[in-house]
Homo-oligomer: A and B are copies of this chain.
């Protein structure tokens, strides 16, 4: 049985020379890439990719040059401007430039800044959203990020700001009261400070916290703990970034909904 590279239906966009496509690769599992993303990979001349993009995904663009532009979490990133300018240069050289970022380009991903640089230099671009780890990664741990019995809101927050520190602009007490569920990206470095702020804001130390590292990949690890114990438990377990922290009672559903148990190793 043979089929066309992409299913019929939509007119699959043609990747024109001189364009940049900003694309989210999803949280890790290559199967969570979108069809638009696959279409992009198959046409790109060059793929500029981040640390969190799986090599299996890059293998779908064998014709393209692959340029690593990864940055490491928690540190200031002086190179962001360089990355953006590299995209401009490649596009101006007539390449079809696929900028492939982990997760979604617009969820704590600095895709907005890259797009602004493209606009400033007259480079046309398209955006292809991706599955974000705070939703899809938790789903792979059996945790629904919303459940009508628990929450009518969910807050996504980044664990560090431009300076690499805990975001000073945030009103952590308000966040504690505003959403029954709080999902923290890039929180490993400052988790002690963040959880203290949430408890000072009224959150119960016994509240469930799920920590998911390397979400949706074969290396996924899940730790179930509480707001009061997470700092010690993460250290004891030796967990490393990339991590997602989910604070809230939706974590309790994991016992019931962890569908990975049906699939096995």
Contact = CB atoms under 8 A, between A and B. Distances in A.
A126 B262 contact: yes
B144 A106 contact: yes
Copy number in the complex reads 2
Contacts of A113: 147-148
A195 to B, nearest CB: 15
A146 interface: yes
A195 B128 CA distance: 30
Interface in A29-51: 29-36, 38-39
A68 interface: no
Contacts of A126: 259, 262-263
Contact of A34 (B31, B152, B171, B250): B31
A1 interface: yes
Given A177-B171, A178-B179, A34 B33 contact: yes
Interface string A1-23: 11111011110110000010000
Contacts of A167: 152-153
Nearest to A142: B127
A152 B169 contact: yes
A140 to B, nearest CB: 7
A38 B37 CA distance: 13
